[in-house]
Amino acid sequence: MAYKKPNKALRNFRDRNKRAKSNAEADRRKIKRCYDLICKHFTDDEEVIGLWFVTPNVQLGCVTPLWMITMGRADKLLIFIENMIDGFHP
């Protein structure tokens, strides 16, 4: 039997799957960076760090940082954390 090239739909599916995996890896890096910055800012006090992630924050629109991560907004949270540490508060 002769080799058949995968049809276009299958190739598109594979491409989307590769992009999704790379996006997930990028999101994991952003989340880890958020966590590392908060740990550094709060001097590794686990209780305070845990509370920070689950307490609604007025500067984030009264949502929790954990909610922002869950909704795919880790990039905006990372910018917020970097600005907070640098002393910029909108």
What is the DSSP secondary structure assignment for residue 7, as one 8-state letter?
P
What values do phi and psi take at 62, rounded to 5? 60, 35
DSSP letter at 63?
B
pLDDT (tens, 9 = 90+) of the chain, 90 residues, equals 555 555 666 666 666 666 656 677 888 888 889 889 888 887 767 888 888 889 999 989 999 998 998 888 888 999 999 898 888 765
Given a contact cutoff of 8 angstroms between Cβ atoms, the answer to whether 72 and 27 are in contact is yes
Q: What is the DSSP letter of 65?
A: H
Contacts of 10 (CB under 8 A, 6+ apart): none
Instruction: Count CB-CB contacts under 10 A for residue 39.
Output: 14
* Whether the predicted model's global pTM rises above the 0.85 cut: no
Segment holding 37, helix H or strand E: helix 8-41
